[in-house]
Structure 1
Amino acid sequence: MSTTDFQRAREELGRRLREMRSESPHGRLTGTALARILGWPQSKISKLENGRQTPTADDLRAWVDATGHPGAYEELHARLRGFESEIRSWRRQLARGQRPVQEAHNAAQASARVLRAWESSWVVGVLQTPDYARAILGSFAELHQSPRDIEGAVRSRMRRQAGLYDSGKQYHILLWEGALHARVCPPEVLAAQLDRLMGTVGMDTVRLGIVPLDAALCLPPGNGFWIYDDRVTTETWHAEFWLEGADTLATHLRVWRMLHQSAVYGAEAQRVISRVRRSIST
């Protein structure tokens, strides 16, 4: 589902909500009257009906009860699940903290056999040390003002690394050299993270490629993404996208392969990591 498809689905849900308000068995309700019944600002009614705000499941339950259509809840909730399964806002996902998000990725990676990643901003979670993960997760908790369940989220992320020792899996991971330089954590933590990466090179289940800063590129680095078999996940500052479909998969595979052409592996990758490691004063 693209962002345009998501917005269209949200607008269609809004039209259905407006229809229910207009056809209330209690008599036609105005938006103002419904807002008064629900104890909501009238602007929320308008935003929901015009597809400018995504309702929660609780919003839908309150709406059907207030408009006299309790039997419509399952239909509306199914619509909501349908488009939210693709675009998941961080505000909603992090309402219960970061651990549930980590567990969702753990499940997705556990069920996949071939995993491909491109990351230009930080070291991917499955290769992180606990201290590096703690710094990354802490910065996002601060950004989104989410519950600070950092230690639980770190433990969950570390459990994901069991897949690295599963002979039935193959990880094809590409990292932009810039991600190795990024001071997203204290210098000593970054140094230990780079040491961890050095040890990853040569693992049976992992093919780690580094795209050097001075490499000729077929494409700009762009945003990072994972491909879990035939499903793509990527993220923005606002939301996480879980995408399916032949066209989506083909595009991301093509991007990955074009970036792969600029990557170095094995001893060359270790030399790049070592060069960055030597530049860090701890």
Structure 2
Amino acid sequence: MSTSPSSSAQAARDALAVRLSHLRKEAGLTGKALSARCGWHPAKTTRIQKAEASPSDADIRSWCAACGADDQADDLIATARAVDSMYMEWRRLHQGGMRQVQENWYALHEQTRHCRVYLSNVPPGFLQTPAFATALMNQITRFQGTPNDVAEAVAARVARSRFLYEGGHRYVVLLEESVLRYQTADPEAMRGQLRHLLAVMPLASVSLGIIPFTAQRIVWPLEAFYVHDDTMAVVETLTAEIKVTQPRELADYARAFAGLAEMAVYGDAARALIRAAIEALE
């Protein structure tokens, strides 16, 4: 990854360095004193505090112990582990096409038992029809200017739908009503996609909620995110995929999801919104 100070990854490195510096200062320690307690050269402390060196798990535990802050070690370690993989630009991920990324998602979903999903733009990949996925991926490929392997990528994306029927997976999906209305594909593909949502709703593995336009907001519309087994959230922006593993941030995404779930409608009320979107197309 780039170490440019303008990158989100570098910003995360800087934030980790600042947190470690604050721990030292709150403990009333100079850099030399902390280095002595940790048993390393003061230059190492300087490099860590300037985000010029990435601390190991052992370094962080030693640092926290020296500052009397052992209770913060796990959170800081999770942050450090996530830094290098947390921010991946889509153009970099798709530099050889989209198929490999879709296969990586397949592996992640295979390992995930409980997945909470919120989307405000399109249905999740594992609920997309081939026609809808093809239209969407063609748009993304054109926008990013990356190699076109859409046919292979669509096959890899649609393959994730198998986990709706096997393996004991559970998907809780929240969609903004706008997802039903955006003309992301041609009318025929959109109708097929909306009918597919109706078809999967009875599955025991799926809970599908729709947040109506008229819902009183207690959480504002957000970027798309997937929470995998409370261990990682994957957030999708226009330019990048962001992996969140820090416990306090995961707690924020879980809290946001709970608020969004309160605004959603389910069952017959959700079906009515989907059918209304189909009727609008016809």
User: 1:106 is matched by which residue type in structure 2?
Assistant: Y
1:143/1:5 Cα in 2 relative to 1: closer, same or farther (>3 Å)?
A: closer
The CA distance in 2 between the partners of 1:187 and 1:234, in whole Å, is 28
- Determine the structure 1 residue equivalent to 2:194: 194
The CA distance in 2 between the partners of 1:101 and 1:238, in whole Å, is 15
Asked if 1:233 corresponds to 2:237, the answer is no
Deviation at 1:5, TM superposition (A): 5.4
- Determine the structure 1 residue equivalent to 2:248: 247
Deviations 1:209-258 (A, max 9, x none): 01111111101112110001121001111111011021111000101000
- Determine the structure 2 residue equivalent to 1:33: none
Deviation at 1:10, TM superposition (A): 8.5
The CA distance in 2 between the partners of 1:172 and 1:201, in whole Å, is 11
Structure 1: runs of 5+ lacking an equivalent: 13-50, 52-80
Asked if 1:211 corresponds to 2:215, the answer is no
User: 1:245 is matched by which residue type in structure 2?
Assistant: Q
The CA distance in 2 between the partners of 1:272 and 1:152, in whole Å, is 32
Alignment of 1:144-183 (within 5 A): 144-166=144-166, 168-183=168-183
Deviations 1:21-44 (A, max 9, x none): xxxxxxxxxxxxxxxxxxxxxxxx
1:263/1:82 Cα in 2 relative to 1: closer, same or farther (>3 Å)?
A: closer
SS at match of 2:209: strand
The CA distance in 1 between the partners of 2:11 and 2:251, in whole Å, is 23
- Determine the structure 2 residue equivalent to 1:102: 102
TM-score scaled by structure 2?
A: 0.71
TM-score scaled by structure 1?
A: 0.71
Deviation at 1:11, TM superposition (A): 11
Find the partner of 2:11 among 7, 11, 16.
7
The CA distance in 1 between the partners of 2:82 and 2:213, in whole Å, is 40
Deviation at 1:150, TM superposition (A): 0.1
Asked if 1:224 corresponds to 2:224, the answer is yes
Deviation at 1:86, TM superposition (A): 1.2
Query: Superposition RMSD on alpha carbons, in Å?
Result: 2.2
The CA distance in 1 between the partners of 2:272 and 2:149, in whole Å, is 36
The CA distance in 2 between the partners of 1:264 and 1:226, in whole Å, is 19
The CA distance in 1 between the partners of 2:272 and 2:15, in whole Å, is 52
- Determine the structure 2 residue equivalent to 1:258: 259
- 1:167, 1:205 within 8 Å by CA — same for their partners in 2? no
Deviation at 1:82, TM superposition (A): 6.5
1:251/1:11 Cα in 2 relative to 1: closer, same or farther (>3 Å)?
A: closer
The CA distance in 1 between the partners of 2:265 and 2:209, in whole Å, is 5
The CA distance in 2 between the partners of 1:103 and 1:278, in whole Å, is 35
- Determine the structure 2 residue equivalent to 1:271: 272
User: 1:255 is matched by which residue type in structure 2?
Assistant: A
More displaced, 153-162 or 234-243?
A: 234-243
- 2:115, 2:227 within 8 Å by CA — same for their partners in 1? yes
- 2:8, 2:87 within 8 Å by CA — same for their partners in 1? no
The CA distance in 2 between the partners of 1:151 and 1:259, in whole Å, is 34
Deviations 1:258-282 (A, max 9, x none): 000011111111111001110003x
Give percent identity, aligned residues only. 30
- Determine the structure 2 residue equivalent to 1:185: 185
The CA distance in 1 between the partners of 2:167 and 2:150, in whole Å, is 30
The CA distance in 1 between the partners of 2:13 and 2:260, in whole Å, is 33
Runs of 4+ in 1 over 6 A off after TM superposition: none
- Determine the structure 1 residue equivalent to 2:131: 131
Deviation at 1:198, TM superposition (A): 0.7
- 1:99, 1:149 within 8 Å by CA — same for their partners in 2? yes
User: 2:246 is matched by which residue type in structure 1?
Assistant: G
Deviation at 1:90, TM superposition (A): 1.2
Deviations 1:34-69 (A, max 9, x none): xxxxxxxxxxxxxxxxx9xxxxxxxxxxxxxxxxxx
SS at match of 2:92: helix
Deviation at 1:91, TM superposition (A): 1.8
- Determine the structure 1 residue equivalent to 2:41: none
1:82/1:205 Cα in 2 relative to 1: closer, same or farther (>3 Å)?
A: closer
